[in-house]
Amino acid sequence: MPKVVDHNERRTRIAEALMRVAGERGLEAVSLRHVAAEAGVTSGMVQHYFRTKDEMMRFAIEVVRERGEARLAEATARLGPDPTPRALLRTIVAELLPVDEPRRVDGRVTLAFFAYTAVRPEVAKALRADTATMVGGVAEQIRAGGPRPGVDPELAAVALLALMEGLGIYLLGGHYTAEMALAALDAHLDTIFA
């Protein structure tokens, strides 16, 4: 099925070009033409994947999500069978923090996407179900991991996800080192788990 192979290769090529230009000049400033030039393809070929700014933003965040999921799958596999809930949550958050250049590129795209959706409630709406699912999943891990007395798993999950996004912002701005951010994460996990 050579056509399918072509399609996947081309999609990856365009996705990588988009990430490179977005990582350099900011996702908001990227045009279809920039991506085509960077990928070495025609604008028409790029339009097969996105035609409008909205579609480009959605394509970009989809690519970031796929990369994040691939990283998480690898990292959780390295944890071996039956990791503790704390180890699992630590791995997930640490893997998603922008502590190296590939993750920083993805982090910049995510941040640009958040800024974009903050003024477009109809786009933001689509993300809410994802957040609710994530909060539920994290709360379940907290419940399973033996939280300290008085810890509310749902509220602790909300706080942990917010901590992750906030540390991401500060890391992208170079305000903290990776070590500092991870130490803050570990100290925070200490307050959740007994």
- Interface with its own copies (CB under 8 A): 23-29, 107-108, 111-112, 114-119, 121, 124-125, 127-128, 131-132, 148, 150-152, 155-156, 158-159, 161-167, 169-170, 172-176, 180-181, 183-185, 187-188, 190-192
Residue in this structure with the two tokens 């339009």, named with its chain if needed: 47
Nearest distance from C-beta of residue 187 to its own copies, angstroms: 4
Nearest distance from C-beta of residue 41 to its own copies, angstroms: 24
Nearest distance from C-beta of residue 183 to its own copies, angstroms: 6
Decide whether 36 or 160 has the Cβ nearer to its own copies: 160
Determine the Cα–Cα distance for residues 12 and 15; give it in Å rounded to an integer. Answer: 5
Decide whether 79 or 132 has the Cβ nearer to its own copies: 132
Nearest distance from C-beta of residue 106 to its own copies, angstroms: 11
Decide whether 16 or 114 has the Cβ nearer to its own copies: 114
Q: What are the structure tokens assigned to 168, written together?
A: 């991401």
Decide whether 39 or 185 has the Cβ nearer to its own copies: 185
Among candidate residues 67, 73, 82, 68, the one with its CA nearest the CA of residue 15: 67
Nearest distance from C-beta of residue 85 to its own copies, angstroms: 17
